[in-house]
């Protein structure tokens, strides 16, 4: 064998060895996280964000961002557990379950209207998102049952009464509401059961946390249910941002931070006259902190009875601290004038955009779940009642003030 042929064989062997080594390296470097490939028909450029969905009113955490180039965008990363994220494009958003897989998102931007705040894409490649979608469709089937079509007439009746500002039409709508109440309650019970059953059957699933979603709130669950579902979840379910953020905050607010026996946080807000007033400076044996808004019908319906209680016991014994929140200041002031509110009136200001109002810092600090939200506190600001019914408040005041 001549030397040239021998050298060629050595080079060939080295090339084969190098190729095998490189192939092995490629296998070791295989991405074990997620890849997202998105196509946006009708939008050539813009910015896309992946934002954490935690359900609190604090600023959401941006996980990643990228640019749309010629109608295409891509993300690459890794998550510890599958979780719901917001996909935001030009201040409009959608939600999907992000997992470590190859995910494709197809969006037709031509169907998105200027005033829309969300859009509906086609998502494939995420098994957890498929499971979530299946459960949402199952729950929606309950709402779409022809048996409950009558309930649409109630919405139309209230819309007509509001548009015409006709008291007679409003009375008719309220009468219809009373008539349809059993049907509404039946539909709601079936809808809720779908979500509860799934969570109970899948306690360690991140999907179950999001299927339950905002059913986990004080207004939609009893205190026993809130305890049960919070302690039900385990494993990956407890690692989701929604469990750590929304569910944990609701639980701790009610049972640890702002429940009966806890001390209500002090705060200072401006009165309707623009003068600062602290809760601690309100001199009364017992104070009802009442978070409300001008647009909240139940809030304003409660006022006549609160006036009676304040008159009965006297402001030195029982004072009401009305905190207007999630409202436009001019509308708040107009409601005060219309309802002739005699007690302390504070405004929990929050920046409003395009006529939308949000909870102010005090409402956020108090974890206000809905309006009205009320707290009965004593002189030391110890919480005696949290969101009491009319009957519970009456009974407590008799216990405290009638000798």
Per-residue pLDDT at 13: 46
Domain shared by 311 and 346, yes or no: yes
pLDDT on residue 58: 57
Strands 102-108 and 122-124: antiparallel
The predicted structure's pLDDT at residue 4? 47
| Shared-domain flag, residues 89 and 174 | no
Instruction: Kindly tell me if the per-residue pLDDT of 3 is higher than 50.
Output: no
CATH of the domain at 103: 2.60.40.180
The answer to whether residue 66 sits within a structural domain is yes
Q: Which residue has the higher pLDDT, 228 or 19?
A: 228
How much is the average pLDDT of 197-220? 96
pLDDT for 170: 78
Question: Is residue 159 in some structural domain?
Answer: yes
Classify residue 119: in a domain, yes or no: yes
Of 257, 279, 313, the position where a domain reaches its end is 257
Same domain, 216 and 313: no
Q: Do residues 272 and 252 both lie within one domain?
A: no
Structural domain contains residue 2: no
Q: Is residue 167 located within the same domain as residue 112?
A: no
What average pLDDT score do residues 35-52 get?
94
Strands in 83-89's sheet, in edge-to-edge order, are: 92-98, 83-89, 45-52, 62-69, 72-77, 34-41, 102-108, 122-124
Same domain, residue pair 291 and 216: no
User: Residue 29: inside a domain, yes or no?
Assistant: no
pLDDT, tens digit (0-9, with 9 covering 90-100), for 48-73: 999 988 765 456 789 999 999 999 99
Strands 92-98 and 83-89: antiparallel
CA distance 345 to 332: 10
* 101 found inside a domain: yes
**Residue 398 pLDDT grade (very low, low, confident, very high; cuts 50, 70, 90):** very high
Task: Tell me which residue range forms the domain holding 278.
Answer: 268-401
Question: Where is pLDDT greater, at 377 or 223?
Answer: 377
Residue 84 and residue 174 in one domain? no
The last residue of a domain, from among 223, 257, 291: 257
Q: Report the CATH number at residue 302.
A: 3.40.30.10
In a domain, 132, yes or no: no
User: Is residue 24 one of the residues assigned to a domain?
Assistant: no
Q: Quote the CA–CA distance of 47 and 360 in Å, as a whole number.
A: 29
pLDDT digits (tens, 9 = 90+) for 137-172: 999 999 999 999 988 888 888 888 777 777 788 788
Return the percentage of the chain with pLDDT > 70, whole number. Answer: 90
Q: Note whether 146 and 243 are same-domain residues.
A: yes
Sign of CA dihedral 152, 156, 162, 163: positive
Averaged over 215-228, what is the pLDDT? 93
Residue by residue, DSSP assigns 223-236 as HHHHHHHHHH--GG
The answer to whether residues 193 and 296 belong to one domain is no
Task: Give the lowest-confidence range in 169-173, 306-310, 314-318.
Answer: 169-173
Instruction: Say yes or no: 95 and 178 in one domain.
Output: no
Q: Please tell me whether residues 253 and 287 are part of one structural domain.
A: no
The structural domain count of the chain equals 3
**Cα–Cα distance between 319 and 343 in angstroms, integer?**
7
Domain termination site, one of 100, 125, 150 = 125
| 214, 24 contact by CB (below 8 A) | no
- Based on the fold, state whether residues 176 and 290 are members of the same structural domain: no
Range with the poorest average pLDDT among 17-31, 67-81, 86-100, 177-191: 17-31
On average, the pLDDT of the chain sits at 89
Residue 8 has pLDDT above 50, yes or no: no
């Amino acid at each position: 064998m001549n030397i040239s042929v021998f050298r060629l064989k050595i080079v060939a062997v080295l090339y084969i060895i190098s190729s095998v080594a490189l192939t092995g390296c490629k296998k070791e470097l295989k991405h074990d996280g997620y890849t997202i490939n998105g196509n946006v028909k009708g939008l050539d450029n813009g910015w896309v964000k992946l934002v954490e969905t935690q359900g609190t009113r604090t600023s959401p955490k941006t996980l990643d961002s990228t640019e749309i180039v010629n109608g295409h965008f891509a993300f690459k990363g890794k998550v510890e557990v599958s979780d719901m994220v917001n996909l935001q494009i030009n201040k409009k958003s959608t939600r999907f379950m992000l997992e470590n897989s190859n995910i494709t998102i197809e969006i037709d931007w031509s169907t998105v209207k200027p005033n829309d705040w969300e859009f509906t894409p086609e998502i494939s490649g995420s098994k957890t998102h498929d499971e979530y979608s299946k459960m949402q469709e199952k729950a929606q089937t309950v709402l779409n049952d022809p048996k409950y079509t009558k309930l649409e007439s109630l919405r139309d009746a209230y819309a007509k009464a509001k548009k015409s500002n006709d008291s007679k039409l409003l009375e008719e709508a309220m009468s219809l509401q009373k008539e349809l109440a059993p049907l509404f309650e039946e539909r709601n019970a079936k809808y809720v059961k779908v979500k509860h059953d799934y969570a109970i059957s899948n306690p360690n699933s991140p999907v179950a946390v999001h299927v339950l979603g905002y059913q986990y709130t004080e207004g939609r669950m009893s205190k026993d249910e809130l305890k049960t579902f919070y302690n039900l979840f385990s494993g990956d379910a407890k690692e989701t941002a929604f469990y750590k953020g929304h569910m944990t905050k609701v639980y701790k607010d009610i049972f640890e931070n702002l429940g009966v026996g806890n001390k209500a946080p002090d705060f200072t807000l401006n009165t309707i006259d623009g003068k600062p007033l602290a809760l601690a400076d309100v001199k009364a044996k017992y104070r009802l902190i009442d978070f409300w808004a001008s647009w909240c019908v139940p809030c304003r319906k409660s006022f006549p009875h609160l006036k009676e209680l304040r008159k009965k016991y006297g402001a030195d014994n029982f004072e009401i601290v009305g905190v207007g929140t999630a409202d436009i200041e001019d509308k708040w002031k107009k409601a005060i004038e219309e309802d002739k509110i005699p007690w302390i009136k504070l405004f929990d200001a929050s920046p409003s955009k395009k006529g939308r109002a949000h909870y102010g810092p005090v409402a956020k600090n108090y974890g206000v779940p809905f309006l009205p939200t009320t707290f009965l506190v004593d002189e030391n600001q110890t919480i005696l009642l949290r969101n009491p019914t009319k009957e519970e408040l009456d009974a407590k005041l008799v216990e405290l003030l009638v000798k």
